[in-house]
Structure 1
Amino acid sequence: MGQVTTLTSSDGHSFEVYEAAPDGNPMGTIVVVQEIFGVNAHIREVADGYARSGYRAMAPALFDRVEPKIELGYAGADMMQGIEIARGKLDVSDALLDIQTTVQSASESGAVGLVGYCFGGLMAFLSACQVSGLACAVSYYGGGIAAQLEQSPNIPLQFHFAELDAHIPMSDVDLIRNAYPDCGLFTYDADHGFNCDHRASFDECAADLARQRALDFFAEHMG
């Protein structure tokens, strides 16, 4: 369904973007922000799913600044490599610049929303606070948000967290809920990564419910 294109940010860095288009005219564009595993098969499938729901979808390869075309597995050395890139080698400001570039390109198709997972969940939160041109954003189990509560979202923002997530304690989720009472925040009886059907932590019921809530949110704010 999709194809790979290239965008160039204002600092001259070029990066790949996986794009998927709906059958008819798009209702807008959803920017899909990757986990720590790169724009892999799962992220491409997520983009394809939003295209089937009527949106143009664009998934920028944010790790291209460190290692182009990287696709990692979900355990062992691959997971450690993804963590090392996300937490050490990749400058968050560079990632946000590439997201901004993607949003600017996406605006050619009308309103732009954003959804991010894991590392992308944190980027979704930061994008809601710092990236211009977005109508709304959805953050799935983004680690590190509770340490950045001085940030202020400028657009409607929806959070999804997993109650069994060892990486994000419910005490952090409570801090986020209290800091941003106007944002929708949902928790699920599931583990980190519950949306990814390539992982053992996949939870179909939680994934389906969260996705429907995200779709309703996009429809509300991008219509």
Structure 2
Amino acid sequence: MLELRISERTFGQPVLGEISAKIERGDRICLLGPSGIGKTTLLNAIAGLDETIPAKTMIGAVKLRVGYLFQEHRLLPWRTLSANIQLVGATFQEAAGYLASVGLKGYEHYLPDQLSLGMARRAALARCLAVKPDLLLLDEPFASLDPVMAGGLKVLIAGIMDANPGMAMICVTHDGDDAEILANRLWYLDGKPARLQWDDRVGESGLIDGVLKRLRHKLEDS
């Protein structure tokens, strides 16, 4: 579906080094790594938002429909939730359906400022789904949410992925527990410049924390 061939650059001080990976339909990738290492930079590159990384390094990207849930919800504050979703091509009825699918049935006429942070994230996720994405990008979707809201959103995202088995996902997170719930594949980004230190399928549950501990210790000792 999408192949990354980011080459190491020798000029300046690039955040990302050489990165090679393939993303297939149905992949549920959780991208972890230290704060500030370049996880959002990599997500932006995949979305085509980083002009310093040539588009030719994202093979297959032009054919993909991408839904991007940013750290900020980026809903237009002067438009209702329905109107925000209609901006990406949905009808009013379709917008209502997408809102219902994220637990916001009946909120079509609300403005973003009338929502809690968790509800606004759900509304932004509904807008992502209205794009009918092949690839769903999530940048720390659980940040600043209380445990109950974060847990509900994880269950919601897992359900969305189950209902759309042909869709792929990359979710940036700092928490191995998120990967336990959401991931069937784990990426770990580290180094200067940053590279994928780990790219593998997730096997049985309960192994991710062990993998992360070994990676962190290995990289700290190197």
Normalising by structure 1, we get a TM-score of 0.32
Bigger CA radius of gyration: 2
Normalising by structure 2, we get a TM-score of 0.32
